[in-house]
Structures are given as structure tokens and as C-alpha cells.
Amino acid sequence: MRTITKPTMILLAAALIIGAMSICACAQDLLPEWEISVQDFKQAVETIKKDEPDYYAALLLIKKDDEEYYTELVADWIFEQRDLEDMKQHDPEYYNESKKQADLEKEERRLTGLYRTAKTEVEKQSINKKLMVLLDQLFDEKLRLQKLDVRELESELSSIKRDIERREKNKQKIIERRLAELKGEDEDLEW
């Protein structure tokens, strides 16, 4: 059973009672677990409505059939935006590649929504072809990001190896400093 804090429940209940939001009932359980506030969820839906109208329309259709899936899709969108903002600050190159991936995933969501709501087999076949092309591009972009990850990990690993080698060479000196520190003889030196 999920634990929901009393303030969160009060906020959710009040929002539902006054009709101030249009999220599904399952959000009461899922949002606190995912560390997404009702306000963040509401703002995300509004942003999607403004910036991604096709996806928003597909979300509304999905919501009618599967409210939990609707909530999960909006939550995924929120996490994606949070990750992108964090990357933008810390790794611009990775951010640019991730942004490309996010744009492709945005189109993937839009096409998926259209496919799920398509009325005819002809529409589904057309959308399916577009999805195949898009998935090929998305695969390549994900591969580029994985290569960037490998490059970063290799750099980090090299740095750790250098630190280990340096510590091995200076083992006796490090031990002597630590002993002095423990005896209170040399407060300025680190372990």
C-alpha cells in the first residue's frame, strides 16, 4: 500500500472537489510516489496543451480509455523535462543530443497517440510506416547518447586509475599523515 502524506491528500481532495484540475483519480496514488506535485502535473498538462497540441489531443483520448496510462505518460513527460533542464546546466553537448532524442520521442508520442486512436486500417498502416522511420532515427540518436556515456565513463575510469596509482606510489606518506592526524600531531593534513 502506498503512503500518502496528509497534506498531499488534503491538496488532492480539495483540487478534486473544486474541480480545479483535470487529472485522473489514479493520480492520487501515483503523484506522491513519483514526487510530482499536483501543481507540477497540472502545469505539465497545460504546457503539453500549448506546445504539443496533437499529443495533448491524443492524451485526452487515452485518458478516456486508460486513466492510469494517461497519468504515467504525463509523469514521463515531466521527468523528461526535469532531466533535460539538469543536463542543460551540467553538460551542454549531452543536452543537445538529449534534446534531439526528446524531440524524436515527442514525435513518437504523437504518432503513438494517433495510431491508438486511428479509426481505419489505412490510417494505422500510414502511421505505422512513419513510426518505423522515426524509430530508426530514435535508435541512432540513443546510440549516439550511449557513446557519449561511454566516453564520459572512460574518462572517469581513467581519472580513478590515476588516483589509485598516485595513492599506491604515496602509500607510506599517506599512512604517516593519517597516523599523525590520529595522534593529533598534524591537524592540517588529510587522510
What amino acid occupies position 150? V
Burial of 41 (0-12, 13-18, 19+ CB in 10 A): buried
Residue 156 in this model has a pLDDT that exceeds 90: yes
Cα 144 to Cα 80, 134, 153, distances in angstroms = 18, 15, 14
pLDDT of residue 22: 43
pLDDT of residue 146: 94
Residue 120 in this model has a pLDDT that exceeds 50: yes
Radius of gyration of the chain (CA): 25
Alpha helices by DSSP H, listed for the chain, are: 6-18, 27-33, 38-51, 53-65, 67-90, 92-117, 121-169, 171-182
Percent of the chain residues past pLDDT 70, beyond the cut: 79
Residue 190 in this model has a pLDDT that exceeds 90: no
pLDDT in tens, 86-114: 888 888 888 888 889 989 998 998 898 88
